[in-house]
Amino acid sequence: MAATFSYPACAYVVRCCSMRENHNQLKQQVNSIRVNGSFRSPIKVDSFSQIAEAATTTTLGQAVTFPENGQRQNIPTKKQLVDPYRQGLIIEGGVGYRQTVVIRSYEVGADKTATLESILNLLQETALNHVWMSGLLSDGFGATHGMMRNDLIWVVSRMQVLIDYYPIWGEVVEIDTWVGASGKNGMRRDWLIRSQATGHIFARATSTWVMMNRKTRRLSKMPEEVRDELTPWFIEKQAINEDTPEKIVKLDKEAKYMNSDLKPKRSDLDMNQHVNNVKYVRWMLETIPDQILEGYQLSGITLEYRRECGSSDIVQSLCEPEEDEILNGAMEPDYCTSLLNGLSFASSDIINGGGVLTCLEQRPIRYTHLLQIKGEKQNDEIVRGRTMWKRKFATIPFST
């Protein structure tokens, strides 16, 4: 027997208009309601009172029936080339994925540009939609059928994001993503975010993923059946060329900035029952000084994940500027000397009003971060990070 549920009708305020043109137009819209891509049976409407009544009697309070197997997602079992619901399509010779999205109001900050968290969420969403389109997705958080049979889940071990420009509210962007091999037991996933109108690259990102046993919470080798599922989708292409990743040092209790007693919320947990990696970024940025957040924007972030964080853990966020002299308005003597020695005072930068100070201001500021779980005897690392910041500039539209 199919499962059903019902909910009580609610009161809605309907604003009436005396203009007959608007009245007839609304009648026409109500009579041609599109639901899930198809038109519903026409509803005869003669008055606004009937509009309110129709909205209540045909939707609110009506029992909803689900299939007997309880499946509401309709996950594809075969490879799909186009997804009209998500504005997605398969590219790169049938193995990459592109999704077109509009930057929404809740994805931007006070300056009307997309926040870093929103960008990371879009990267995660397009990655999952890529697996969805592949026909490999099982009943898990991006896990394939072979992974589910082996009780395996994906965990990210490293991620790097470089941002040249932040998309603004209402802007249409294209996000490309694809995967490749990373060693014997890992997978690399890359992204490109570009303007749909101009093709300008806004951001690029790369990440490394490994498998963890869902029950033991230990890292696992890649089973051959999973390798057989994934290998046909691997391509040799990199969004960020990084031959030898720069090591991130571990901070200690002497770090300049610290935020203690951070407690994960229930809403911070993902479908794998641990704190989603995007939430870590919020904890990291809370330790950045206000003057940096106000005058600079994040241009790059690198994350090295060490272990997962659960709902009962107490987290501590540490932050240390890599060049403390910048915060005090001074530069390192060696850097200033080398810069001046290599600067031509007849250069176009100085002639055009750039000068030495402008060159110094354009140098990015870098911070080292550490999130750790506070323990009675020792603190366990969750993630190490590095952020780069550059001075903010006015957001202007690109010329075509």
User: How many angstroms separate the CA atoms of 322 and 368, rounded?
Assistant: 7
- Cα separation values, 205 from 132, 185, 208, 300, 382, Å: 20, 21, 11, 10, 21
Catalytic residue among 129, 130, 274, 277: 274
The answer to whether residue 274 is catalytic is: yes
Can you tell me which residue has the tokens 């140098």? Answer: 363
* Contact present, 384 and 369 (Cβ < 8 Å): yes
In terms of residues, how long is the chain?
400
Catalytic residue among 129, 272, 276, 277: 272
- Reported for 73-81, long-range contacts at CB under 8 A and 24+ positions apart, including other chains, are 75/132, 75/137, 75/138, 75/139, 76/132, 76/133, 76/135, 76/137, 77/135, 78/135, 79/133, 79/134, 79/135, 80/132, 80/133, 80/135, 81/133
Catalytic residue among 130, 276, 277, 309: 309
Which residues pair with residue 14 across a beta bridge? none
The answer to whether residue 319 is catalytic is: no
Q: In terms of C-beta density within 10 A (0-12 exposed, 13-18 middle, 19 or more buried), how is residue 50 classed?
A: middle
The answer to whether residue 309 is catalytic is: yes
Give 184's contacts (C-beta < 8 A, 6+ positions apart): 221, 222
Q: In terms of C-beta density within 10 A (0-12 exposed, 13-18 middle, 19 or more buried), how is residue 282 classed?
A: middle
Kindly give the residue spans of alpha helices, DSSP state H, lying in the chain. 20-30, 48-58, 116-134, 145-149, 224-230, 277-285, 290-295, 324-327, 333-341, 348-351, 355-361
Residues acting as catalytic residues:
272, 274, 309
